[in-house]
């Protein structure tokens, strides 16, 4: 469960990234000045796509979020055993695929055999970038490995 403190921390990072993304990528989804966003017209950042209607981190979920006004799509990234950057919130894929697979202890070829509930494979960060390119902005959150290390950084 996300605590209020955790949410404020994530929002602060997302807004910081929003400023960096806007200044660095003129062709990405138009963000504009952060001052233009208010409670009535918020800046929409989709967390894991649209996870209430579609599997987390699925193309279907990201597509829905973007179609509904999201300017940013968020990816949780875990380093697989063969150094692929796997997009998954949890190291264990049981919740999203029904298969008891640890990302950090598996190769991507093993991981992709466990589809999401809509039939999509678990995606890599590269496949997300290839699909959406500069049509949106990205919020990438790195996750620690099963052993507690932060090898991605």
Catalytic one among 47, 57, 84, 123?
A: 47
Other Cβ atoms closer than 10 A to 109: 10
Name, in order, each residue with C-beta under 8 angstroms of 108's C-beta and a sequence gap of 6 or more: 80, 82, 84, 86, 124
Is 47 in the active site? yes
Name, in order, each residue with C-beta under 8 angstroms of 69's C-beta and a sequence gap of 6 or more: 44
Secondary element (H or E) of residue 138: strand 137-142
Is residue 114 within 8 Å of 97, Cβ to Cβ?
yes
Is residue 98 within 8 Å of 122, Cβ to Cβ?
no
Is 84 in the active site? no
Output 49-52 pairs: Cβ under 8 A, ≥24 positions apart.
49/73
Instruction: Please list the active-site residues.
Output: 47, 89
């Amino acid at each position: 469960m996300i605590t209020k403190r955790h949410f404020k921390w994530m929002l602060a990072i997302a807004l910081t990234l929003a400023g960096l993304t806007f200044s660095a990528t003129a062709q990405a989804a138009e963000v504009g000045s952060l001052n233009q966003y208010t409670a009535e017209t918020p800046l929409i950042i989709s967390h894991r796509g649209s996870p209430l209607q579609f599997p987390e981190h699925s193309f279907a979920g990201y597509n829905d979020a973007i179609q509904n006004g999201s300017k940013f799509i968020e990816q949780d990234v875990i380093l697989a055993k063969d150094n692929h950057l796997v997009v998954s919130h949890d190291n264990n894929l049981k919740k999203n695929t029904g298969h008891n697979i640890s990302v950090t202890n598996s190769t991507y070829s093993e991981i992709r055999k466990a589809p999401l509930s809509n039939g999509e494979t678990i995606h890599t960060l590269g496949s997300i970038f290839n699909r959406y390119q500069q049509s949106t902005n990205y919020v990438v959150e790195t996750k620690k490995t099963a052993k507690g290390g932060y090898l991605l950084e």
